[in-house]
C-alpha cells in the first residue's frame, strides 16, 4: 500500500531528539512524501520506512508493510536494542559531513594530548609558567585506531597529514595507504604494542562490548614516548569497562583518557570521571547527525528504492554493524 502519489509513508521515531527540525527537513527534501511522528502512525499499513534514533521497543514489529529501517546514527546498537525487530533491511548513516566532524574531533583530541593540553590547562589554573622542554614531534608518536571503517579510515588519513604514524585494527584485514593494518584476535597483540595514543571508533556489538578492559590496557605498549598510553573513545560507552579505566589511570596503565561516550548517558553528576585530573569528557558530541546533511540523501534513497534500485549503506545483521 502506498499513498495516492505512489510514495511509501515515513514514520519518525526519535528518543531524546527534537523532532521538528527533522520533519521540516523532510518537508524540504521530499514534500510529496508523508511523514508521521511516533506514536501517530503506529501500525499504519501505509508506513514503508521507519527513520529512527532509539525507537521504542516493539514499535517497528507492529508496522505490517515496513520495507526498511533508516538509522539516524552511524552506529546501530540503538536499533538492535529492540529485540523484536522485523526482518527488513537496516540502512545506517554514512555521510561526508558526519565523517568530517568525527575526524575533526579525533585530530583535536590527539593533538590536545600530544601537545600536553591537559597539563598546560592545569598549570594555567595554578598560574604556573613551565615549558616542557621535551615536547615530541608528531612523527615520534603512533596513533592506533581501533575500527578502520568509514570513520577510522578518514581519521587515519588526516592524522597522517599532521605527521603522525598510524596503525589500525579491524575485524577483517584491511589495506589502508600509509597505515600499518592489523586484524582480528590474532592481530590484536601486535596492534596494541604498536601505538602510543589509541582512538576507538568501533561499533558496539556482542563481540566488542566491554573490549576496553583491564586485560587490553595491560597489553598496550608502555615503552613509547608518552610512557603509558592515552585512550580516546568516541565509539560507544558499552565498549568500555569504566571501573577498569579508573583503576588503569590510578595504576598508570593509561596516562590519560578522553571519553565522548559512556555506559549511561548523560553521565551521572556523581561520576568520578567528572573531576578526575586525567580525564577529558565531551558529551557524546564527537560527530552529531545533522538534519540538513542526512535527510536529503535519505529521501533520495527512498525514491531510488521505489524505482527498484538497491539500498546502500546496509547493516550486516549478523555482524551487528
Ligand atoms: P563502520 O561499520 O564503517 O566501521 C566499523 C569498524 O570497526 C570496521 O573497521 C570493522 O571491521 C571494525 N570492527 C567491528 N567489529 C569488530 C571487531 N569485533 N573486532 C575488530 N574490529 C571490528 O563504522 P563507522 O566507522 O561508520 O562508525 C564506527 C562507530 O562510531 C559507530 O558504530 C558508532 O558507534 C560510533 N560513532 C560515534 C559517534 C559519536 O558522536 N561519538 C558518531 C558516529 C559514530 P571491518 O572493517 O573488518 O568490518
Ligand atoms: C552515531 C552517533 O552513531 O551520533 O552516529 O553516535
pLDDT value at position 266? Answer: 97
Q: Is the pTM of this model over 0.95?
A: yes
Average pLDDT, the chain: 97
Distance CA 223, CA 228 (A): 7
Residues 272-306: tens digit of each pLDDT: 999 999 999 999 999 999 999 999 999 999 999 99
CA distance 57 to 81: 7
CA of 173 relative to ligand 1 center, distance in Å: 14
CB 41 within 8 A of CB 11: yes
Instruction: Please work out whether the CB of residue 75 comes within 6 Å of at least one atom of ligand 2.
Output: yes
Q: Is the pLDDT of residue 5 over 80?
A: no
92 Cα nearest atom in ligand 1: 26
What pLDDT is recorded for position 136? 97
Where residue 110 falls (left for φ over 0; alpha for ψ -120 to 50; beta otherwise) is alpha
- Ligand 2 and 203: CB distance under 6 A: no
Three cell numbers written together for 242: 569504566
Q: Could you identify the residue written with the cell 557524546?
A: 284
pLDDT, tens digit, for every residue of 124-169?
Answer: 999 999 999 999 999 999 999 999 999 999 999 999 999 999 999 9
Are residues 46 and 312 in contact, defined by beta-carbon separation less than 8 angstroms? no
d(CA 283, CA 267): 8
Residue 41 pLDDT exceeds 90: no
Please give the distance of CA 272 from its chain centroid, rounded to a whole number: 23
Does the pLDDT value for residue 223 go beyond 90? no
> Which ligand 1 atom sits closest to the C-alpha of 236?
34
Whether the per-residue pLDDT at 1 is higher than 80: the answer is: no
C-alpha cell at 137: 614531534
- What is residue 259's predicted lDDT score, i.e. its pLDDT? 99
Instruction: Tell me the per-residue pLDDT of 81-126, one tens digit each, with 9 for 90 and over.
Output: 999 999 999 999 999 999 999 999 999 999 999 999 999 999 999 9
Testing ligand 1's pocket by substitution, the residue of 90, 171, 172 carrying the most ligand atoms inside 8 A of its CB is: 171
User: Cis omega before residue 39 (within 30°)?
Assistant: yes
What is the arithmetic mean of pLDDT over 13-24?
Answer: 96
Tell me the mean pLDDT in the region 189-206: 98
CB 286 near ligand 2, within 6 Å: no
Query: Which ligand 2 atom is the nearest neighbour of the CA of 286?
Result: 4
Please, are residues 152 and 103 in contact by the beta-carbon 8 Å criterion?
Answer: no
Active site includes 78? no
Catalytic: which of 214, 284, 292, 307? Answer: 284
Q: What is the pLDDT of residue 226?
A: 87
Active site residue 9: no
9 contacts 41 by C-beta, under 8 angstroms: yes
Amino acid at each position: 500500500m502506498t499513498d495516492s502519489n505512489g510514495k511509501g509513508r515515513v514514520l519518525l521515531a526519535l528518543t531524546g531528539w527534537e523532532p521538528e527540525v527533522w520533519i521540516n527537513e523532510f518537508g524540504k527534501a521530499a514534500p510529496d512524501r508523508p511523514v508521521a511522528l511516533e506514536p501517530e502512525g503506529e501500525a499504519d499499513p501505509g508506513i514503508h520506512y521507519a527513520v529512527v534514533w532509539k525507537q521504542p521497543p516493539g514499535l517497528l514489529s507492529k508496522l505490517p508493510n515496513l520495507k526498511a529501517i533508516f538509522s539516524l546514527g552511524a552506529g546501530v546498537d540503538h536499533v538492535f536494542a529492540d529485540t523484536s525487530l522485523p526482518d527488513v533491511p537496516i540502512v545506517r548513516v554514512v555521510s561526508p559531513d558526519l565523517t568530517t566532524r568525527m575526524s575533526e574531533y579525533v585530530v583535536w583530541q590527539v593533538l590536545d594530548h600530544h601537545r600536553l593540553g591537559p597539563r598546560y590547562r592545569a598549570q594555567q589554573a595554578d598560574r604556573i609558567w613551565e615549558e616542557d622542554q621535551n615536547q615530541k614531534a608528531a612523527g615520534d608518536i603512533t596513533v592506533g585506531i581501533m575500527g578502520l571503517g568509514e570513520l577510522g579510515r578518514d581519521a587515519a588519513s588526516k592524522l597522517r597529514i599532521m605527521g603522525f604514524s598510524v596503525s589500525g585494527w579491524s575485524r577483517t584485514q584491511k589495506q589502508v595507504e600509509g597505515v600499518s593494518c592489523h586484524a582480528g584476535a590474532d592481530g590484536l597483540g601486535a596492534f596494541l604494542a604498536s601505538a602510543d595514543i589509541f582512538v576507538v571508533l568501533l561499533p558496539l556489538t556482542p563481540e566488542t562490548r566491554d573490549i576496553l578492559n583491564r586485560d587490553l590496557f595491560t597489553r598496550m605498549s608502555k615503552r613509547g614516548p608518552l610512557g603509558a598510553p592515552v585512550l580516546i573513545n568516541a565509539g560507544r560507552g558499552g565498549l568500555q569497562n569504566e571501573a577498569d579505566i579508573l583503576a588503569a589511570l590510578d595504576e598508570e596503565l593509561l596516562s590519560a583518557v578522553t571519553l565522548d561516550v559512556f555506559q549511561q548517558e548523560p553521565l551521572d553528576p556523581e561520576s568520578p570521571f567528572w573531576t578526575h585530573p586525567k580525564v577529558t569528557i565531551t558529551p557524546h558530541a564527537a560527530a552529531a547527525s545533522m538534519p540538513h546533511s542526512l535527510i536529503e540523501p535519505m529521501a533520495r534513497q527512498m525514491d531510488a528504492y521505489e524505482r527498484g534500485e538497491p539500498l546502500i549503506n546496509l547493516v550486516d545483521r549478523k555482524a551487528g554493524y
